[in-house]
Amino acid sequence: MAQEIVKPDREDVVIAEEIGRVGVITINRPNQLNVISGKVALLLGEKLEKLEKDDSTKLVIIKGAGRAFSAGGDLKMFYDGRKTRDSCLEGTYRMYWLCYHIHTYKKPLVALVHGMSMGGGASLMTPMRFSVVTEKTVFSTPETLIGFHPDCGFSYMLSRLSGRLGEYLGLTGARLKGKEVVAAGLATHIVPSQKLVELEKRLLSLNSGDENAIESIIKEFSTDFEIQENSILNKMSIINECFSKDTVEEILMSFEAEAHKLGNSWIQPVLKHLKKLSPTGLKITLRSIREGRKQTLSDCLKKEFRISNNILRRTISNDLYEGIRAIVIDKDKSPKWWPTTLDEVKDAQLNLIFKNFEQHLELQILEKDEHRWKGKYDNSPYYYHINQAMKIQKVLSSTAPGIGSIQSAL
């Protein structure tokens, strides 16, 4: 695997190397499956900006150390910060801001994806001009499992997949493997895992960023494939019929009706899984993907930033923290959702999650090329207010009044 090139004794969570005309960025948290913390998002942004502005760099490769590309966001970080308002706001801001720059990067990007690529980790892979997976790659957007929503640009990406596949993947968190990821349009090439090191070496020998040359090399290593008969991608007629319904309730009703038909035994386990998920998370996810179909990339990221921070602030529900507790912390796999049923989650509540922030508190994405690397977290009002609150918190006792009110001003 290409990941073996990274020395295991390196402690940097993100390693950037310049080899000839090629920049190589490695997410280096192998013992944590390369989950993305606020620090990782910060460093990825800094290193990608430097390489984009460096005239000598013609191509950038991104990969993960160890047996995963990236398992997504650092859920323990979210859980540990649950008692302090906006403790993870910096991380979400930096990550969504980074996602925009990966989508719009000015030089060819190649992702070498071996192993797990999920959630926020997959958001680094999918938008790249060249996204190379292996037969061991596993893709999913599993956020609904913990009462969250597919973010990091996935309301934009999922909504643009064929038919209603995006709704299906977003709501169920279903996994795609290897060739399915390419067939779904979430990666560009599949290469046998044993050839990934050699592919990387060939890419490192390039002296230009010519996309035809890059693609020619990747094609030398890539293989043709056929999707297995039982693949979810061969169930698209049912998925399109059921997951095009207007509401989550109607989707489940339609899906259940299909489950009783001959040859549809695959539906029942999926249906059982869906019924165990957070009603709030499911409704947020469906609405976000549906809106994403008509929104620009920057609009989707700004919307997701609002959604995520309102969820983290428990605006209408504690489900995210309960989901992380049940799946990651206590691992009892028995989350206690509230509200408990879909019909208890009202549109008025959802509107609070999607409500626009004041303009200066929105995610700042500057789309003009000359300003594209501006709008960083460090220049946002959040940076000043949250850092001020943290300074006060160090001085005052944990029970001192005023800290919450300072942060609630955001």
Q: Which residues are catalytic?
A: 73, 120, 143, 151
Q: Phi and psi dihedrals of 171, rounded to 5? A: -75, -40
Q: How far apart are CA 363 and CA 91, in angstroms?
A: 12
- Asked if residue 124 lies in contact with residue 154, where contact means CB atoms within 8 angstroms, the answer is no
How many CB atoms neighbour CB 375 within 10 A?
Answer: 17
Place of tokens 């489900």: 319
Q: How far apart are CA 15 and CA 33, in angstroms?
A: 15
- What strands, in cross-sheet order, belong to the sheet with 130-133? 14-19, 22-27, 59-64, 109-113, 130-133, 189-190
Work out whether strand 130-133 and strand 68-70 pair parallel, antiparallel, or are unpaired: unpaired
Q: How far apart are CA 83 and CA 140, in angstroms?
A: 29
Quote the tokens at residue 328: 């990651």
Q: How far apart are CA 21 and CA 24, in angstroms?
A: 10
SS3 272: helix
Q: How far apart are CA 64 and CA 111, in angstroms?
A: 9
- Asked if residue 172 lies in contact with residue 238, where contact means CB atoms within 8 angstroms, the answer is no
Cβ partners under 8 Å of residue 212, min gap 6: none
**How far does the chain reach from its first CA to its final CA, in angstroms?**
45
How many CB atoms neighbour CB 205 within 10 A?
Answer: 12
Of residues 365, 346, 336, the one with CA closest to residue 95: 365
Place of tokens 């869906």: 274
